[in-house]
Structures are given as structure tokens and as C-alpha cells.
Amino acid sequence: MNHTFKPIQPIGIFDSGIGGLTVARAITKLLPNEQIIYFGDTAHMPYGEKSAEAIKHYAIKIAEFLKFKNCKMIVIACNTASAAAYKAVVKSTGMKDLIVNVIDPAVSYVVKNHYRQRVGVIATKRTISSNVYAKRIEALDPVSDVVQLATPLLAPMIEEGFYNNKISQTIINSYLSKSKLSKIDALILGCTHYPLIKDEIQNFYGKAVDIVDSSEIVAQYVKEVLEKNDLLNENKSKLFSLAKKSQFFVSDYTQSFEETSKIFFDEKVKLKQFNIWED
Ligand code: DGL
């Protein structure tokens, strides 16, 4: 038996706000022995409306904070930041394979499961204008047909608690009825808020379309990378209480964020304010 002492290190996860908690939740469900340090940049959200330069600046600083917190891996749980800042974060941290973005695992999934089919993507304006999904899918599958639609109302709608009701279904139906998205075989939910409206999207299409929820796919990928690098927390008895000690930081605390965080994480989350931009 191998008794080598392995220091316990958390997984760092960040997003522009609290939407990335859907990814944190999927990781926690799949890997309950892992401790999470989450950072939501609520002071600067929404990233979907910001320039790529601004997002890079924020993301590098947050990754530095998570590295300082001794995180063994950093998950960029935001499509917008993954599109704009993934390479910059890899370079600035030097953590290479231990920086995970939410785009590539979803791209691998659709190329494997929907090869040469018509794939739709819905996301923020910044993610869609970066063309990142189309570029990465086409790099692996040049004859694929990727169609993309910016759906900027959806993230704020969900944050305001409008999901699984008539209003949300009307807005969702109105976006999904656009001719651009007609005859698709799969739809990538290209924003970490969207797993909350997955059922409503599935209702719109029925079973004909595969709704790709990257939070679950990313959690699976995180597990594989940790296994490959021998970084998985396995000793349940010792680590159980530590896993419970996950921490959730935001750059701007409000009561409303704390309340909304429940809908993304399934359970109450205690948010702590931490302004990493203060000297
Ligand atoms: N969580 C972000 C994403 O996945 C969307 C919210 C924002 O615009 O900041 O793209």
C-alpha cells in the first residue's frame, strides 16, 4: 500500500458571478471528497458585456488568488472567461493541464456524439462574438455545421428567479424559435447559468435534440484530469469534514447574491466578500 503523504489541496473554481456554482455543484456531486474554493467576481459581472481585455485582466488576478490559496486545479466556470482568458490564465499561472475551461470538454462531447451533425450554441454576446465554439468544433470536425445565437436576456432572467415559469418559457421559446437554430441535432448550453433552464429548453424541442449541459461534462473531465495527475482526494474518513469546508468568495457581497446562490448550488451557500483588487 502506498502511504505517501499527500497534502490536501482544494479545487479552485471561478466565474463572473454565481452562475458558475452550477459547475461547482456538479463537481461536488461527482467528487464529494473534494474541497472547493469558489470565487465569483460579482463586482464586475456581467462579463458577457465586457471587452476581452478587461476579462483577461480580471481572470488573471482571480487565478493568482486561487493559486495563492494552494488550489491544485483551477476551473474557469464561465464560458465568457473561458473564451476570452483561458490562454492568458494558463500562461500566467504556469499550471497548464490543471487549468480547465468549460468549452473544450463540451466541444469534445459534441464532436464524439454528433459528428457531422448540426450543432447549435446559445451563450452571452461576448462568447458568441468570440466564435470560440464554432472554431474549436470545426478544428476537430471540419464538415460540422455550427450555428450560434446570443441570448443575453437569459442569464439576468435566471438570476432574477425567472425560470420554470410561464415568463421564462415564453422568452426561451422566442429565442429558440429563431430560424438560425432550426433543424439542430444538439444544443450546447454555452453559459453556466443555463443548466437551470435545461428542462424548459428540452420541453421546447422534445427528445429530438440533445441538450448539452457542460456542467456535468466538465465535472467528469475534472475527475479524469485529477486521476491522471494523481491528485484525487480519496481517503473519505480523513477528508470528509474537509470537503465540507469549501469556501465561497465574491468580490462584491449582497444579500441578494447570497439568496440567489441557493438556486445554483441546490443548498445554502455562505458567501464571503473578498476584494482582490484592494491593495
Ligand atoms: N457565467 C457567464 C458565462 O458562462 C455568464 C454571465 C456573465 O455574462 O457574466 O458565460
Q: Taking residues 32-60, what's their average pLDDT?
A: 94
Ligand 1 pocket, residue 127 CB under 6 Å:
yes
Scan for cell 467528487, then name that residue.
Answer: 31
In CATH terms, are 11-101+216-273 and 103-214 the same topology?
A: yes
- CB 46, CB 20: distance < 8 Å: no
Whether this prediction's pTM lies above 0.85 is answered by: yes
Q: Which of 14, 18, 25, 124 has most ligand 1 atoms within 8 Å of CB, for mutation?
A: 124
59 closest CA partner among 34, 91, 103? 91
Distance from Cα 30 to the centre of ligand 1, integer Å = 23
Q: Confirm or reject: Cβ of 14 under 6 Å from ligand 1.
A: no
Domain ranges of the chain: 11-101+216-273, 103-214
What is the predicted pLDDT for the residue at 3? 53
Distance separating alpha carbons of residues 66 and 190, to the nearest angstrom: 24
Q: For residue 234, report the distance from its CA to the centre of ligand 1, in Å.
A: 32
- pLDDT tens-digit readout, 74-113: 999 999 999 999 999 999 999 999 999 999 999 999 999 9
Q: Does domain 11-101+216-273 have CATH number 3.20.20.140?
A: no
Least confident span in 34-38, 177-181, 231-235, 256-260: 231-235
User: What is the Å distance from ligand 1's center to 88 Cα?
Assistant: 18
Query: Using a 6 Å cutoff on CB, does residue 130 contact ligand 1?
Result: no
Looking at every residue in the chain, the average pLDDT score rounds to 92
Please choose from 102, 191, 215 the residue to mutate so as to test ligand 1's pocket, defined by most ligand atoms within 8 A of CB.
191
- Sequence-distant (6+) residues with CB within 8 A of 180 are 120, 147, 148, 149
The residue ranking higher by pLDDT, 244 or 179, is: 179
Q: Which CATH class is domain 103-214?
A: alpha beta
Q: Cα separation of 19 and 15, whole Å?
A: 7
Nearest atom within ligand 1 for CA of residue 78? 4
- Joined grid coordinates for residue 121: 450554441
